[in-house]
A and B are shown apart, each in its own frame.
Chain A
Amino acid sequence: MVETASLFTETQLIVAVSLAATLIFILGVPIFVVIGMWIIGISLVIDFTLANLGVTLFTGLSFFGLLALPLFILTGDLINAAGIAKRMSDFAYSVLGWLRGGLGMATIGACGLFAAISGSNAGTTATIGSIMHPEMKEGGYDERFAAATAAAGGTVGIIIPPSIIFIVYGFLLNLPISDLFIGGMLPGALMVLAMMTACFLVSYIRGWGHVIKFSVVNSGKLALKAYLGFIAIGLVIYGIYSGAFSPTEAAGMTVGFCLVAGVVITREISLRKLPDVLLRSGQITGILAPLIAVSVVMQQILSLLGAGEVIGSWLTGLGGYYTILLGCMGMVLFAGMVLESLPVTIILAPILSPIAVGMGVDPVHFAVIFLVGAAIGFVTPPFGLNLYVASSITGIPYFRLLGYTIPYLIALLSAWFIIAFWPPLTMFMVNFGGAG
């Protein structure tokens, strides 16, 4: 009786700590601190020593594989500074500009190409958005739609390989990162196609955008100008497909290539400019890596609290295969709406993946389903990171962008359902020649 009463009190206290954490999150306290405070609060309630925090801040980050994260952030900044991203965007426009909404579609296509070298959603939105938003605005599009296009296009940054979140997911669940990368290829392409269709339909209905004449010669010339970008993409794909390099080594090779390309070939990266590029990547790493470390501790506590069992029994009580998969997808989508994708992945993936795999979903397929859901969270309120980045680069207030993301959200959700309920889309490339 006494035990039941004390257990009840403990549950109440856990709820109180979680509500307090939610309150400070709403008040604008950084997510990193919110998670830290939740950990400290819960450690006062349950038997969890804070010494674990000290240990995990070292061990949670001490994996060679995790180094692909800062390196793939750096490749994105290097190809931008080297002018390669701009050349790839010009090429995408030359190919798609003859269609109504071609410039918007080119923005999404350029996001896809950029994502194939870099591994970050925010980096993709920031880089391609900075290049394409002014052009879309001048090209007869509503500026809010143009910003929403860059934000939505950036979602593929973590699905088309390389991807920093696939790396984290692979480490958490002990899955071959190369297989995850390969599994993300076709779903990423489907997301690009779905968003391009949405862009075409909206532009067609609204009459937005000027149409240019398609020229094979011009497209060929621009493709040649963008050749460095294609070599970098080839390097990444060769590295992860052949198994010749680990993802971290592939990232190191791509960094080396992009640096040489920018300094020696395009000569747009001067030695004076290089520290700024490194510092920018260091700053992004200084935001994401601490989030990984604290999220690992949060996951440890949730595991101690038996969150996996509670969610597992709730989900399995829902019914069969499809219902459980839909339940998992709903949880990922909801978590992605309120949190950044790294904490979402670290906290939820170890709980949901065993449930889905137990139901017969392939672990690589579920990883892709999970991360596409987390990526959709980048353009959903209240916490849509890509929308913040797009707002930041365009100066358009965050809330004014929301309405213009709806067509893209519909497209992304449709693509997500196809990815989830048609496993061959993900598994074909993995089975065809996965390195794992």
Chain B
Amino acid sequence: MADTTSVTTSLPIKLLRWVDNNLEKTVILITYSAMAGIICVEVIRRFAFNVQAPWSTSVPVLLFLWVTWIGAAYNVRQRTHLSLNEVRLRLPYTAQFCCLILDAVLWIIFAAIVIVFSTEQVTLAYDNFAFVDGTDNIMQWWFYLATPLGWALIVYRVLENLYEDWQAFRRREPFNLQPSLLE
């Protein structure tokens, strides 16, 4: 009985962990492949057969929004957004922790503002019933949603990083201040 309970409780947790580890990766892979695939196939069709889908220049542009903002969230989690870290690396340990808190606070302020104003744009596209150029059934707001959702994910990843930093601070472990893009 106890085993059954542990199996049933661990499954959702496993699922959540998978989502936590792979959400951005999955969205980036799908949207990046679709964007590159559409452009590549359509240029070959235009060059070889003189035909081209009318949406082939509008849908990739909107998919790029997903790659951009979900990619931004992924880089927050990986701590790979460009920064000048030479001074921070030489600061005392507690000051480094304060800098990490400062990062988190600034990210959240920035994100809150972007979420509010980008949601306005999504709502506008939704209310206007705006279609993607070259289509008559694909809604623009599906793609515009990338910005507020991406930024909401940024907030989640910032909080996740802050929790990790707090745990490291309690254990007096070194912070991850020099992550590599190449890992």
Interface residues of A (CB under 8 A from B): 24-33, 36-37, 40, 50-51, 53-55, 57-58, 61-64, 66-67, 70-71, 74, 122, 126, 130, 244-245, 248-249, 251-253, 255-256, 275, 278-279, 281-287, 289-291, 293, 340, 382-383, 385, 389, 392-393, 398-399
Contacts and interface: CB of A to CB of B under 8 A. Distances in A.
Contacts of A40: 109-110, 113
Contacts of B46: 249
Contact of B102 (A29, A51, A253): A29
A290 B75 CA distance: 11
Contacts of A130: 182
A55 B43 CA distance: 30
Contacts of B65: 58, 61-62
A62 B103 CA distance: 28
22 contacts: A28-B83, A28-B84, A54-B117, A55-B121, A58-B121, A61-B65, A61-B68, A70-B32, A70-B64, A71-B39, A126-B181, A255-B36, A282-B29, A283-B75, A285-B32, A287-B72, A287-B80, A287-B81, A289-B68, A290-B71, A290-B72, A291-B82
Contact of B39 (A61, A67, A244, A398): A67
Contacts of A281: 32
Given A28-B84, A29-B102, A282-B29, 15 more contacts: A26-B87, A27-B87, A28-B83, A28-B87, A28-B177, A29-B99, A51-B117, A63-B61, A122-B181, A130-B182, A255-B36, A255-B40, A287-B72, A289-B71, A382-B86
A60 B68 CA distance: 12
A362 B70 CA distance: 39
Contacts of B71: 282-283, 285-287, 289-290
Of listed A40, A55, A253, A282, residue having the most chain B CB within 10 A: A282
B114 interface: yes
A27 B84 CA distance: 8
B40 A252 contact: yes
Given A24-B102, A54-B121, A282 B57 contact: no
Contacts of B87: 26-28
B152 interface: no
Interface string B55-79: 0011011101101111111110010
A51 B82 contact: no
Q: How large is the interface on B (under 10, 10 to 19, 20 to 34, 35 or more residues)?
A: 35 or more
Contacts of A290: 68-69, 71-72
B84 A25 contact: yes
B25 interface: yes
B35 interface: yes
* B interface: dominant SS: helix
Interface string B14-44: 0000000000010011001101100110111
Of listed B36, B72, B181, residue having the most chain A CB within 10 A: B36
* A interface: dominant SS: helix
A36 B36 contact: no
A33 B154 CA distance: 12
Contact of A33 (B107, B117, B181): B107
A44 to B, nearest CB: 11
Contact of A282 (B67, B121, B177): B67
Contacts of A245: 43, 47
B72 to A, nearest CB: 5
B118 A54 contact: yes
A385 B35 contact: no
A223 B87 CA distance: 46
Nearest to A28: B88
B180 interface: yes
B173 interface: no
Nearest to A389: B181
Contact of B114 (A53, A64, A279): A53
A286 B106 contact: no
A249 B99 contact: no
B81 to A, nearest CB: 4
B80 to A, nearest CB: 7
B64 A31 contact: no
A245 B64 CA distance: 20
Contacts of B64: 61, 66-67, 70, 289
B57 to A, nearest CB: 5
Contact of B82 (A24, A37, A287, A382): A287
A10 B144 CA distance: 35
Contacts of A37: 106, 109-110
B110 A286 contact: no
Contacts of A253: 40, 43-44
A71 B147 contact: no
Contacts of B36: 70-71, 74, 252, 255
A64 B62 CA distance: 9
B29 A279 contact: yes
B99 A279 contact: no
